[in-house]
Structure formats: structure tokens, C-alpha cells
Amino acid sequence: METGLDRGVRDPELDQPGRRPRVETLAPFQLLVVNPFLVLVAWLVAFLLARHGVHLKRLPWFLAGLALGLGAPLLLQCHCLDCGGTFWLPKRARHSCRRVSARVHANQSRPALFPSLILQLVFWTASTLLIIGAVLLRGLAR
Ligand SMILES: [Zn+2]
């Protein structure tokens, strides 16, 4: 059974035994975009739960918010721009759809200006921290 993660992996023209090139990692051949939406929503809900717990002096609400906030990074997802697949970030290393396989066989890495996952994560983290900082400063100014 074919799953969404390996969609397009089996290609008789490209997957002939003995012709598969060996690569250390597929990362240079993948066009992946990080999607932190679920993480940001989880952090917002966690903040509201913890804040509500503090105001009502309810420890379980506060602990639920804390646990959700700490576990939220596990919700980080990736989108493949080649096949449109969405998958959990740690599973990206095994993602090889038809176009990724073609790039591997042609030994042609992704466009040089396409940002790496690390750079995208740094951008999203910095943007999120700036927004959170602005909201907190606005709250303190009241
Ligand atoms: Zn793909």
C-alpha cells in the first residue's frame, strides 16, 4: 500500500536495480517548506490555558497549558513543493517523491536561493518571538 509519504517513489524508469545513486542525505534535493501553523496555534492555546489557570488559581489548567506549550514543537510540519505532500518534520529525511528522485538521479540539487529548513525555522522562530514580544510589551504598557 502506498502512503502519502512515498507517493511517486516507485518509478520503473528511475528505480532500476543497480542504477539508484547513493546519496548521504536527500535534503539538498528536496523543496520543503516548514509550516509552523499548528505549533503557533498550540502555543496560543497553551498561553490562554496557563493564563486562565493563574487567574482562577486552578493548577490543572496551568499544568495543561504548560504541557501543551512544551509539546507544541512536536506538531511542526513540512510541505513538499514538488508533490504537495504534508508530513511531520522528523519524517522529511525519508521523503523522496518523483521529482526529488529525478533530481537525485540527475545529481541536481534544489535552486541555490531556496532557503534551507534551518533558515526557515530561524525565520519563523524570530518572527514569532518578535510578535510575542510586541504583544507582551503592549500588555505591559496598559
Ligand atoms: Zn514530494
Contacts of 5 (CB under 8 A, 6+ apart): 85, 87, 91, 94, 95
**pLDDT by residue (tens digit) across 98-129?**
999 999 999 888 888 888 888 998 998 898 88
Residues of the chain with pLDDT under 70: 1-21
CA of 7 to the centre of ligand 1 (A): 8
pLDDT of 12: 59
C-alpha cell at 44: 496560543
Q: Which residues pair with 78 in a beta bridge?
A: 34, 87
pLDDT of 35: 85
CA of 95 to the centre of ligand 1 (A): 6
CA of 112 to the centre of ligand 1 (A): 18
CA of 72 to the centre of ligand 1 (A): 24
Provide the 10 A C-beta neighbour count for residue 124: 17
CA of 18 to the centre of ligand 1 (A): 23
Instruction: Classify residue 66 by burial, with Cβ atoms within 10 Å: 0-12, 13-18, 19+.
Output: middle
CA of 41 to the centre of ligand 1 (A): 25
Provide the 10 A C-beta neighbour count for residue 128: 14
